[in-house]
Structure 1
Amino acid sequence: MEWSTLGRPRNSCRGGIHPRNFRLTLLALCLFLVVVAGSLVFAGYARAKKHITLVVDGKEVTLETRVNTVGDLLETQGIRLGSWDRVEPDPSAPVTEGMRVVVRRAVPVTVTADGKTLKLLTAAPTVREALQEAEVVPGREDIVTPGPAEKIRPEMAIRVIRVRQVAREIMVPVPYSIRREPDPGLMRGQVKVVRAGRQGKEKQRWVLVYHDGREVKRVMEASQVVTPPVDRVVRVGTLQQVSRGGRDIRFSRVINMVATAYTYTGNNTAYGVPPRVGVAAVDPRVIPLGTRLYVEGYGYATALDVGSSIRGNRVDLFMENAAEARRWGVRRVNVYVLD
């Protein structure tokens, strides 16, 4: 006799659950119980009292709370956040034991940079972060006032000064020196140029510092003499005695001057005495009044008068009459300033 294929499977259990399925069912039940227990534990923890620190605009308080999230905490404390206010941690973060929650209210500040002033509300803690919000990026050399680490205050004015340095090379003249050599063959006060001086050239490297496009400082970094200067050499007379009219004349200096002549004008001299032969009008800046002189071609004289046209190395000599003054005319003479 043949068995029908509709018979009971070879490995089946009569009227019961397969052992393997039973084990799987038991495992699933255990996992379910674990999840439920964990949820109950978590729920219990979440509802337990937690000690937290709440800081609002720098004012700090310690609280006990059973709320679940930072947002719930703010709501229970009646704290409403404006559009630009900040809270750390995020409102969705769970409240944990010992947590520190910081609320920063946005305050108005101004940021000036690149010729523009921006007004903004910010809850940034420092100037550095406020600049980041304003999308202002200071360069390495730029000046930020107040400093980047300064704490933000209401109505704070923040300024970024753009600093630019430009290197420049220039050529500048180097002045020559004057070398004086004594010459006993020349009278004291006389000077003879032996060699003309010549300026040199120096290459200089300067760094120009600009603040917001305006030059505020320049610093010379280096210099190099390209062409050295040539000294001017002059011979200076040391002779202090000459013979004139059979007499030795000692003098402190000699001045080559343009000499003219004048006669009576009806006025006293600037020295307060009537004019006479032997009176000379001078520029007091060159020859002080009261100085004794010897004028070549005229003789001894004293500086007692002045004149509006007598300026610099000029001397006006008094003559007895107009005819003598005309004969004198205008000439160059050596004037000896006597000791």
Structure 2
Amino acid sequence: MKQLFLRSWCNKQTVIICIISLVLFVSVFSVVYYLSTKKSIMLEMNRETIEVSTHAKTVEQLLQEQNIDVAAHDKISPSPSTPIVNDMAISWKQAKKVTISVDGNQSKVWTTETKVKDILKEANIEVSEHDSLSQELDTELGAENEISIQKAFQVTLVDDVNKRKVWSTSTTVANFLKENGIQLNEFDRIKNNLEDAITPQSKIVVVRVEKVIDVVENSLNFEIIKEQDASLEEGKETVVTEGQKGLIIKTYESIKENGKVVAKNLKSESKGKEPKNQVVAIGTKKIVRSKNSTDTTAKKESTVSDSTVNPNSMDSKSTISYDSTEPAIGSEFYVIATAYTPYCKGCSGTSATGINLRLNPDMKAIAVDPSVIKLGSKVWVEGYGTAIAVDTGGAIKGNKIDILVQSETQAINWGVKRVRIKVIN
């Protein structure tokens, strides 16, 4: 009986062991099978990639399995409804809200992009090379999630005499000058107010101002002193001492704006050389002549001599008769012509170029404005002939000349005329 019991107990124990072994086998097999049926997935989450094993059937289930809360603006690739396959790559990019300010006008956008240029492109905002951005286009968006843009516009800049269009994002005139590196010298000025706001219609005007010191030397005319000389025959004159012109030095301060003189002030005046007066002897010696033929001849010779010395004694009907052949070449224009004589009251008889006109009665000469006709020029004058520009005159300014004649009568007969001239050389 005892042996039968032991045999029965052993059979039961064997069965239990077999059952336990079977359960363990099934469990292990199930686990192994479960694990072996999982799919391997590469999941990218905001630039971080992890490997995931899953039994999820769709992308959406996988994301839920990973406790990823997908917002409306997030980007999932492939789409959430896509079935899961082994070795699949899934990307989840979380969107963030970015504030974009264009010339102070703000807008907010949701984006998964990280670079500034990609965010602006997605927001359909174009920028040019002249625009000013708070962050460079190729940089990653900063933590503040904000992009500021100042749109550039063209402004008219007049600097000195140069006018051009300049791109600017400045808000005031002062900022514009600094942005474009425009330096102002000591006397330069800006026509605009530095605090004025800049707009596309703005015109910035820079006036370049300079002060220039000019030293001008002017001649001083000498006086003619006439002295009576009892040893000199009455009616005759002779120069005892040649006159010499003096020199006066004037210093001017000229103010130029953009190269043009707008003001000229006399700062100082001094005499460089005093003029030397010219002394002329006037004959007072009376000559008594006999009535014989010899005396008559002498008287005639004396009369001729007097006429030569002083052409004012010529017949009042005397006129000017010159060769007026017109040259083929020359710079031609019209002038107002008057006439003068070297024997006028107060005249020295010496031209501005130093020629004694009284000793050259046959010379054809004219007085000119040297700024119009250079001294020494050969000039053909209508009705007068070819003359040399040897003299100047206080009243001879611009297109005006004075022709040389040998008597006051000739000067009066000439009068004032508008004549054609040719400057030959």
Whether TM exceeds 0.5 here: the answer is no
Pick the structure with more helix per residue: 2
Between Structure 1 and Structure 2, which shows a larger proportion of strand residues? 1
Taking structure 1 as the reference length, what is the TM-score of the superposition? 0.40
> Could you tell me the TM-score, scaled by structure 2's length?
0.34
Which structure has the greater CA radius of gyration? Answer: 2
